[in-house]
């Protein structure tokens, strides 16, 4: 019968062998956290079902220090997931299920993509928040159908990254008592021992947040870790940090406690020496039957899920409407009347014909959609009054005296990165569609979380307002120039910059309907002119680009987005008064337009007709649409501090300048 030491050493051996075979990877962390993994996964504290990785009430496990991915791959393989040993042999190879860092959607049992340090723990805060809010919404006396924990492994690098501060402070504020984090305190990073650059009091820091902190324990003692886990389970009003003192590369005679084991293979000689030192007398990728038996969690997982299934069947009989809604929400399905809700909302926006800021148009859209979709969970990074992401149905998230949370709108504070990473965790957990907002300029702080949403193919909803020099007097520090373009460059990201109330409504509806693509919705501070449209034109908004104004045999095509669409329309009218025919194309989403078939694209942007793109942003982005014969009226410098109307004139965003540029390219 395998001992705990055998179970831990199986992880060490697999990590050494896989990294060595790939000639790439990080063996030290898995070797150092092996006993912690035995205590959590091996002793049944982590409740999951390897044969159904999507069981609704499973615990969630997040490997925030994702460079040590072989730890998680070893655990998934050993406990019975569909991850055969051949996949471990293909570690870090093309199209394998074992990429260099854990990736959501590639491997069963991976809850989120980790690797960019700090984001895993931030995602975990979102997972734990979703569990708490979903439980309070759906649980009933005797029926705790939502009742699971979020477990996190994180390292020194996660602690150093600022996003961990943003997210962990909120975890305590919200009293997320089912969140338990294990800090791999090994004092090693790539540059070596961290005593020269990582000296803060981490336990004191987390105690200051309001976490329950279990101060340093021996991370290589399974009993010590088990005792800490039991203590964490008794905490009912706050998250827990378990500080585990470990030795990176534990077991390696010459490379333990050294950065030499952090991010490089140990080498054949050192692996042989390590095998001898830990008493592992088995060949590469060879796991004895008794070790497999000791790790196997298929039977236990079936029992855990079966017990929950029995409870849920009784719940569904007693509370059928709640059960139906719970299943819809977890499946990510929209309500049966969604199409009618959208149709009514768009028609209402078109009928009112309001000339308002698109941030206000966005709020109008949310007022229509939030009541229709109870899974919508809004928020803002301390800019609610400016972003206008609160609606009539919004209730401020508040922690009550009994450690419950109430509300559907989150004030994240000035934490743009933390907000966005937490939102990713909420969405990945299931049951909610979060949306969060800040100024477009501060998308820079949140950008890596946006990229991660696109990489994971999750339909996140990011809202950015105050989109250009239209911000005005706040000046160039707050006036975006390159941000919209760079967001469009993120693969698998839909970026919307609507021009009025109807385009804003369609942009929101389209974004909510996505299942594998995140959306960035960009809105103005200033009022924008309402544009009249036919029913066909309204239908074509969802294609990302469409013909708004036209004339027979146009000599030039204007392409515009957002606040510049009305400028293009006025330039079109000015040219018409001079007998020059032109076309105006509104392109609220270049990303969505690029996905349309070539025939539709050609019908909107006909070949052989020169084009002038107009957008208050960097001009180079538009070159692929206008070609060598066209031109761009753009913004290739930073702004100034002044009232917005003066700035638009100062930087050439006038009808006269647009007409002059159009005439120049016609010639």
- Tens digits of residue pLDDT in 335-381: 999 999 999 999 999 999 999 999 999 999 999 999 999 999 999 99
Token readout for 196 is 């020269």
Residues 378 and 408: beta-carbon distance below 8 Å: yes
Residues in Cβ contact with 442 at an 8 Å cutoff, skipping those fewer than 6 apart: 381, 416
Only one residue has tokens 């790939």, namely 22
- Tell me: pLDDT of 663 over 90: yes
For residue 592, give both structure tokens. Answer: 């969505």
Q: How far apart are CA 517 and CA 538, in angstroms?
A: 22
Q: 227: burial class by Cβ within 10 Å (0-12, 13-18, 19+)?
A: middle
Percent of the chain surpassing pLDDT 70: 100
Distance between CA 577 and CA 205 in Å, rounded?
A: 68
Rounded CA-CA distance 609/586 in Å is 16
Distances in whole angstroms, Cα of residue 441 to Cα of each of 265, 438, 504: 42, 8, 20
The whole-number pLDDT of residue 232 equals 98
Region 126-140 average pLDDT = 98
Structure tokens at 211: 């976490």
Token output for 520: 């960035």
Q: What value does the mean pLDDT take over residues 449-456?
A: 98
The yes-or-no answer on residue 416 being catalytic is yes
Residues in the chain: 667
Which residues, in sequence order, are bridge partners of residue 433? Answer: 376
C-alpha to C-alpha distances, 382 to 155, 175, 419, 450, nearest whole angstrom: 29, 20, 10, 19
User: Which residue is catalytic, options 416, 503, 564, 615?
Assistant: 416
pLDDT of residue 107: 97
Q: Is the pLDDT of residue 667 over 90?
A: no
CA Rg, the chain, in Å?
28
User: Parallel, antiparallel, or unpaired: how do β-strands 398-399 and 240-245 relate?
Assistant: unpaired
Q: How far apart are CA 165 and CA 562, in angstroms?
A: 35
Question: How far is residue 57 from each of residues 53, 104, 292, 314, 583, measured CA to CA in Å?
Answer: 10, 18, 25, 15, 55
* Mean of pLDDT values over 297-316: 98
Please choose, from the candidates 34, 218, 118, 207, the residue with its C-alpha nearest in 3D space to the C-alpha of residue 422.
118
| Alpha-carbon gap, residue 67 to 424, rounded angstroms | 20
**Chain-wide mean pLDDT for the chain?**
98
Checking if the pLDDT of 433 tops 90, the result is yes
Q: State pLDDT tens for residues 192-241.
A: 999 999 999 999 999 999 999 999 999 999 999 999 999 999 999 999 99
- Non-local CB neighbours of 391 within 8 Å, separated by 6+ positions: 363, 366, 367, 370, 378
Asked if residue 584 lies in contact with residue 612, where contact means CB atoms within 8 angstroms, the answer is no
* Strand, coil or helix: 421: helix
């Amino acid at each position: 019968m395998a001992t705990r030491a055998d179970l831990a050493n199986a992880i060490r051996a697999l990590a050494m062998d896989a990294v060595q075979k790939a000639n790439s990877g990080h063996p030290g962390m898995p070797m150092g956290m092996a006993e912690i993994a035995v205590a959590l996964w091996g002793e049944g504290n982590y409740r999951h079902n390897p044969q159904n990785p999507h069981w609704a009430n499973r615990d969630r496990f997040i490997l925030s220090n994702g460079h040590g991915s072989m730890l998680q791959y070893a655990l998934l393989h050993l406990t019975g997931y569909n991850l055969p040993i051949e996949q471990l042999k293909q570690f870090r190879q093309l199209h394998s299920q074992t990429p260099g860092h854990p990736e959501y959607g590639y491997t069963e049992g991976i809850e989120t993509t980790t690797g960019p340090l700090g984001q895993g723990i931030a995602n975990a805060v979102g997972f734990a928040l979703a569990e708490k809010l979903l439980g309070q919404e759906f649980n009933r006396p005797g029926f705790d159908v939502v009742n699971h924990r979020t477990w996190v492994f994180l390292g020194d690098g996660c602690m150093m990254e600022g996003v961990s501060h943003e997210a962990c402070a909120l975890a305590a504020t919200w009293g997320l008592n089912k969140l338990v984090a294990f800090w791999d305190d090994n004092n090693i990073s790539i540059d070596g021992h961290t005593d020269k650059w990582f000296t803060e009091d981490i336990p004191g820091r987390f105690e200051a947040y309001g976490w329950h902190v279990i101060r340093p324990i021996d991370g290589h003692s399974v009993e010590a870790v088990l005792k800490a886990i039991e203590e964490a389970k008794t905490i009912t009003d706050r998250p827990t940090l378990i500080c585990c003192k470990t030795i990176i590369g534990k077991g390696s005679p010459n490379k333990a406690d050294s950065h030499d084991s952090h991010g490089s293979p140990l080498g054949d000689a050192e692996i042989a020496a390590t095998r001898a030192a830990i008493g592992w007398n088995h060949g590469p990728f060879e796991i004895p039957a008794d070790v497999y038996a000791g790790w196997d969690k298929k039977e236990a997982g079936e029992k855990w899920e079966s017990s929950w299934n029995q409870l849920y069947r009784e719940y569904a009989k007693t509370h059928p409407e709640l059960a139906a809604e719970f299943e819809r929400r977890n499946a990510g399905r929209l309500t049966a009347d969604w199409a009618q809700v959208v149709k009514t909302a768009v028609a209402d926006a078109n009928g009112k014909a309001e000339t308002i800021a698109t941030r206000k148009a966005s709020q109008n859209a949310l007022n229509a959609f939030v009541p229709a979709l109870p899974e919508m969970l809004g928020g803002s990074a301390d800019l609610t009054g400016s972003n206008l992401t609160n609606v009539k149905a919004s209730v401020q998230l508040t922690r009550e005296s009994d450690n419950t949370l109430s509300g559907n709108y989150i004030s994240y504070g000035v934490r743009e990165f933390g907000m966005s990473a937490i939102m990713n965790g909420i969405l990945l957990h299931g049951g909610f569609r979060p949306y969060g907002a800040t100024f477009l300029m501060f998308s820079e702080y949140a950008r890596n979380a946006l990229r991660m949403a696109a990489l994971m193919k999750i339909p996140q909803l990011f809202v950015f307002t105050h989109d250009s020099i239209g911000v005005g007097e706040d000046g160039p520090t707050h006036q975006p120039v390159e941000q919209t373009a760079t967001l469009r460059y993120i693969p698998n990201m839909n970026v919307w910059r609507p021009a009025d109330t109807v385009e804003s409504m369609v942009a929101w509806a389209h974004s909510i309907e996505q299942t594998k693509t995140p959306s960035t919705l960009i809105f103005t501070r200033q009022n924008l002119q309402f544009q009249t449209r036919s029913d066909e034109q309204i239908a074509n908004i969802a294609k990302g680009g469409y013909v708004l104004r036209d004339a027979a045999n146009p000599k030039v095509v204007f392409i515009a987005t957002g606040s510049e669409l009305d400028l293009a329309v006025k330039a079109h009218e000015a040219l018409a008064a001079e007998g020059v025919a032109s076309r105006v194309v509104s392109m609220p989403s270049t990303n969505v337009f690029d996905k349309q078939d070539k025939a539709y694209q050609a019908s909107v942007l006909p070949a052989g007709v020169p084009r002038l793109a107009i957008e208050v942003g960097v001009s180079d982005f538009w070159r692929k649409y206008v070609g060598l014969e066209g031109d761009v009226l753009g913004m290739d410098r930073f702004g100034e501090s002044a009232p917005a109307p003066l700035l638009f004139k100062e930087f050439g965003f006038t009808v006269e300048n647009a007409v002059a540029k159009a005439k120049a390219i016609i010639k």
